[in-house]
Chain A
């Protein structure tokens, strides 16, 4: 059973471009969480999605950021018109249920660098 897959692992964008980060959850997992980690900091929750639904996007910046988890295919975190402050590591995690004691399995992350 493959783990959580994220691609690309590294992404370089110039200011104003779009960044698309993909996350394929573990097989059988229908709950996906996205987190952002700035250098030397802990992870910050961004958004929680179930298949085809956004459950909680309270950690997402109001503008330029969007997320989706379609019925088929990976979850996508999209950042439009990137700025230097968007440079960070973005992690997704998946779990089979939403239970609070359920293990979240993290992917290796996508490191975004905005020039």
Chain B
């Protein structure tokens, strides 16, 4: 059974701080996706990384895919209250786009 371990589970920080969320597995994934989910809504895709070692930036968010395609990280610089939410990583496996999700990181950014 493929698993994605996401850490930390909860994160409470002050506005302006930096943070990193980690997603680790012993399995290789074809691609890894990061989603953000608001209460009562479905996940919304932030980024997809496909190549080992790939780094993608989305404004203050930096995403990295490990060289071996087994792990990924999400780094947020100068967090803002609007970043508050549930962040989910998901790995694609099985030769098609079947996603294995991590348990999520619930981020709270306080003004």
A in complex with B: yes
Which chain A residues have a beta carbon within 8 Å of chain B's beta carbons? 4, 31, 33, 35, 41-45, 48, 55-56, 91, 93, 95, 98-109
Contacts A43-B101, A100-B97 given; does A91 touch B43 at CB 8 Å: yes
Q: Shortest CB–CB separation between residue A109 and chain B, in angstroms?
A: 5
Chain B, residue nearest A109 (CB)? B42
Size category of the binding interface on chain B: 20 to 34
Contacts A100-B31, A100-B92 given; does A33 touch B43 at CB 8 Å: no
Contact B41 A109 (CB under 8 A): yes
Contact A95 B97 (CB under 8 A): yes
CA gap between A52 and B43 in the complex, in Å: 26
Q: Shortest CB–CB separation between residue B100 and chain A, in angstroms?
A: 7
Contact B102 A42 (CB under 8 A): yes
Contact B96 A100 (CB under 8 A): yes
Q: Give chain A residues whose Cβ lies under 8 Å from the Cβ of B101.
A: 35, 42-45
CA gap between A103 and B98 in the complex, in Å: 11
CA gap between A56 and B33 in the complex, in Å: 20
Within 8 Å of chain A (Cβ to Cβ): is B27? no
Contact B48 A101 (CB under 8 A): yes
User: Per-residue 0/1 for B74-94: is the Cβ within 8 Å of any A Cβ (1 yes, 0 no)?
Assistant: 000000000000001010101
Contacts A42-B88, A91-B42, A107-B42 given; does A33 touch B97 at CB 8 Å: yes
Contact B103 A41 (CB under 8 A): yes
Contacts A48-B98, A56-B98, A98-B97 given; does A108 touch B88 at CB 8 Å: no
Q: Give chain B residues whose Cβ lies under 8 Å from the Cβ of A45.
A: 98-101
CA gap between A48 and B98 in the complex, in Å: 7
20 contacts between A and B (CB under 8 A): A42-B88, A43-B88, A43-B99, A44-B101, A45-B100, A55-B96, A56-B94, A91-B42, A91-B43, A98-B97, A100-B31, A100-B92, A100-B97, A104-B33, A106-B35, A106-B42, A106-B44, A108-B40, A109-B40, A109-B42
